[in-house]
C-alpha cells in the first residue's frame, strides 16, 4: 500500500470516528438538556465542583486510554462552556415564561 493510499484509509477511519464522536456528543447534550429542566438557578447550572470532578475524570480516562490528558481536558472545558451557555439560555427562557405565566 502506498503512503497516499494509507493516508486516505486513515482519514476514512477518522471520518467514521468523528461520526461516532458527534453522535455521542449529541446524546450527552440531550441528557444535559433534560438535566437543565431540574436546575433552578445559575449556581446549580455552573456547578464548579461538578466541573472539577468531570475534568479530573476525563483526564484519568484519557491517561487510561494512552491519550494526552491535556487534549481531553481542553475538549471537555470547551464542551462544558458551551453546554453551560445552553443551560443558562434555557434557564432564562424558563424564568421569562414564568414571569409571563407560561410554562
Give me the CATH number covering residue 50. 1.20.59.10
* pLDDT one-digit tens code per residue, 25-65: 999 999 999 999 999 999 999 999 999 999 999 999 999 99
Q: Kindly report the CA angle at 49 between 82 and 69, in degrees rounded to 5?
A: 65
Assess contact for 89 and 42: CB atoms under 8 A.
no
Of 62, 27, 32, whose CA–CA distance to 47 is shortest? 32
Mean pLDDT of 69-98: 97
Residue 42 sits in which domain range?
3-99
pLDDT computed for residue 86 by the predictor: 97
Assess contact for 29 and 86: CB atoms under 8 A.
yes
- What is the rounded (10 degree) CA torsion for 79, 85, 90, 95? 150
Number of domains within the chain: 1
Q: What DSSP element (H or E) covers 45?
A: helix 42-46
pLDDT computed for residue 103 by the predictor: 57
Mean pLDDT of 13-29: 98
Amino acid at each position: 500500500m502506498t503512503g497516499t493510499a494509507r493516508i486516505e484509509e486513515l482519514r476514512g477511519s477518522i471520518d467514521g470516528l468523528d461520526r461516532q464522536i458527534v453522535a455521542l456528543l449529541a446524546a450527552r447534550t440531550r441528557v444535559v438538556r433534560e438535566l437543565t429542566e431540574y436546575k433552578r438557578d445559575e449556581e446549580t447550572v455552573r456547578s464548579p465542583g461538578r466541573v472539577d470532578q468531570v475534568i479530573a475524570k476525563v483526564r484519568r480516562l484519557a491517561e487510561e486510554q494512552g491519550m494526552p490528558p491535556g487534549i481531553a481536558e481542553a475538549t471537555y472545558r470547551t464542551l462544558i462552556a458551551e453546554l453551560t451557555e445552553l443551560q443558562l439560555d434555557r434557564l432564562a427562557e424558563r424564568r421569562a415564561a414564568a414571569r409571563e405565566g407560561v410554562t
